[in-house]
């Protein structure tokens, strides 16, 4: 675990190479340079205040970052790309159904299918937290994600913090048991993060 916590100068390049195996036309774009992204951020500000300046958005091969890629810490960008890679795989597999179910938002009364897609991607964040800092770091990220899932970040996509805790628990338990790390695509992501092989 300690080795993977240290900065790895090759990690970002490995993660980009992994993503490009499935998304060969991957593009990393500063969303501040995209007029329609800025406009969308303005429209969403009352509901999702962090969309414009803190959140990353992925549509097909394009990852819209809140800042220019070179302004981000390389390891943080590698982790972010690993998260978005899961979305890109799901978008590729499910096509229009992904976008339709992700975008439907019966605020804030019901649990949305968006939570299903985000739990799959945030499993990466939980897995890498465990890789870096064991159960203690995993528990910290799990606690933060209760607010992410049950609050305004994604437009109240799940029914409150306690329900979000129940929804996230099976993923965290699978990571503690070492099970999720053996499932695709998480096995490839973890191997790439570690530098065990090219992914």
- Element (DSSP H or E) covering residue 131: helix 114-150
| The pLDDT value given to residue 198 | 47
For residue 16, which of 181, 196, 198 has the smallest C-alpha distance? 198
Average pLDDT over residues 177-184: 98
| Residue 199 domain flag | no
Nearest CA to 120 among 158, 83, 174? Answer: 83
The verdict on residue 56 lying in a domain is: yes
Average pLDDT over residues 183-199: 89
Number of domains the chain contains: 1
Is residue 96 pLDDT above 90, yes or no?
yes
Range of the domain at 183: 2-194
For residue 106, pLDDT over 60 is answered with no
Quickly state the pLDDT bin for 47 (edges 50, 70, 90): confident
Where in 10-60 does DSSP place strands (E)? 27-30, 57-59
């Amino acid at each position: 675990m300690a080795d993977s916590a240290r900065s790895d100068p090759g990690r970002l390049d490995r993660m980009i190479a992994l993503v490009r195996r499935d998304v060969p036309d991957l593009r990393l774009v500063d969303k501040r340079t995209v007029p329609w992204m800025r406009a969308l951020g303005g429209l969403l500000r009352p509901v999702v205040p962090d969309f414009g300046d803190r959140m990353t958005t992925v549509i097909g091969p394009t990852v819209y970052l809140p800042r220019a890629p070179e302004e981000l810490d390389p390891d943080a960008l590698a982790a972010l790309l690993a998260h978005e890679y899961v979305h890109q795989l799901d978008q590729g597999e499910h096509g229009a159904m992904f976008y339709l179910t992700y975008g439907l938002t019966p605020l804030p009364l019901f649990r949305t299918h968006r939570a299903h897609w985000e739990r799959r991607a945030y499993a990466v964040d939980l897995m890498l937290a465990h890789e870096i800092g064991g159960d203690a770091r995993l528990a910290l990220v799990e606690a933060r994600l209760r607010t992410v899932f049950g609050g305004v970040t994604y437009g109240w996509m799940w029914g409150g913090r306690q329900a979000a805790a129940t929804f996230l628990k099976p993923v965290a338990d699978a990571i503690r048991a070492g099970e999720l790390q053996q499932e695709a695509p998480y096995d490839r992501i973890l191997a790439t993060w570690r530098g065990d092989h090219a992914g």
